[in-house]
Amino acid sequence: MTTPKPIRLLILGTGGMAANHAEHFARIPGVSLVAGVDTRPEQLETFCEKFGIPQRFASLAVALEWGGFDAVTNVTPDAAHHATTMPVIAAGKHILCEKPLSTDHARAAEMAEAADRAGIINMVNLTYRNVSALQRARELVAAGAIGTVRHFEASYLQSWLTQPAWGDWKSESQWLWRLSTAHGSKGVLGDVGIHILDFATYIAGRDATEISARTKTFDKAPGNRIGEYLLDANDSVTMQVALEGGAIGTVTATRFASGHLNDLRLRIYGDKGGLEVAFEKNRSRLRACLAPDLVTATWRTIRTPRVPTNYQRFIAAIRNRGVPEPDFARGAALQLVLDRAEESAKAGSISLTI
């Protein structure tokens, strides 16, 4: 059996999501977590001790000067993705970046173009690509199992503003910043909108061509402020979306879906059948109504084999054993859709082309 090519990985940013990255990468044979970067010395020290990471750097510049790594996983806050990713690309290092790729399309496109010119492996961590039901549904649609796509309904449902299962959002900064535009948040649209838009359009195999959106920010505290956090980022969004080929549908996301911790759903219909894809309580499910069951409207569960994670795909691509997908180009394309949705909402839900 061939020994896998060793990959030395630097983790950029050591906040909450970084632990998930470290745990997944540490399980991949031949991958070594060699360095961590964070401007917060105590956070950096604690994280690196926990995961046995030997090198610790207070700045990316110093880490790049050291250079003893092959690839980077970027887990910095959304607003820092562009500033931290561009030097990594310039250094010729492979990179996986957390979603969204950046906070606007112009910066995301610049990142995608720079990565392409540099010839490095680049991926954006759209985590629901790891869902087996999503991958199988895409295969069925691409194979023509439901015929021509005509209509779809997609939703991303969270409840952390109505129940404490995620923690106390009123007192914990890890949640409060997500509710404040001054702290870099674009609300539920920017945070999980990218996930549900990817979920729907990836399965459909069609890009969005037109969108209209409405966002809503609800009063959550006196003066809608808690300490330094003005709670002005959107909490719910509804979108009307048209796809290449003429299909139309709705895409919604909210943090007020009481009873749903972190659930994604898609119903997609063609002229020959329909599919229902669900990811609930960390488990996925795929149901289909296909010929000859259309006459009786019988829905059947379809088994879905496990699929590689984005972390595994990233390392495989570096080793020339797979395709780096979803890449920065996909992240930039989705950011353009998000930008248009934000513009639409600000302009009174007008319809905009993409």
Domain boundaries, the chain: 7-127, 132-306
Least confident of 65-74, 183-192, 232-241, 249-258: 183-192
- What pLDDT does residue 209 have? 98
Tell the CATH topology of 132-306: Dihydrodipicolinate Reductase; domain 2 (3.30.360)
- What pLDDT does residue 213 have? 98
pLDDT band at residue 3 under the 50/70/90 scheme: confident
Each residue's pLDDT tens digit, 80-123: 999 999 999 999 999 999 999 999 999 999 999 999 999 999 99
Largest Cα separation within the chain, whole Å, is 66
Give Cβ neighbours of residue 300 (< 8 Å, ≥ 6 apart). Answer: 287, 288, 289, 293
Q: Which CATH superfamily is domain 7-127 in?
A: NAD(P)-binding Rossmann-like Domain (3.40.50.720)
- What pLDDT does residue 1 have? 62
Cis omega (within 30 of 0) on the bond before 292?
yes
Q: How big is the chain, counted in residues?
A: 354
Residue 48 belongs to what H/E stretch?
helix 41-51
Each residue's pLDDT tens digit, 143-181: 999 999 999 999 999 999 998 888 899 998 889 999 999
pLDDT band at residue 142 under the 50/70/90 scheme: very high
pLDDT band at residue 2 under the 50/70/90 scheme: confident
Each residue's pLDDT tens digit, 173-230: 889 999 999 998 999 999 999 999 999 999 999 999 999 999 999 999 999 999 999 9
pLDDT band at residue 4 under the 50/70/90 scheme: confident
264, 156 Cβ separation under 8 angstroms:
yes
Retrieve residue 302's tokens.
């379809």
Least confident of 166-175, 187-196, 305-314, 330-339: 166-175
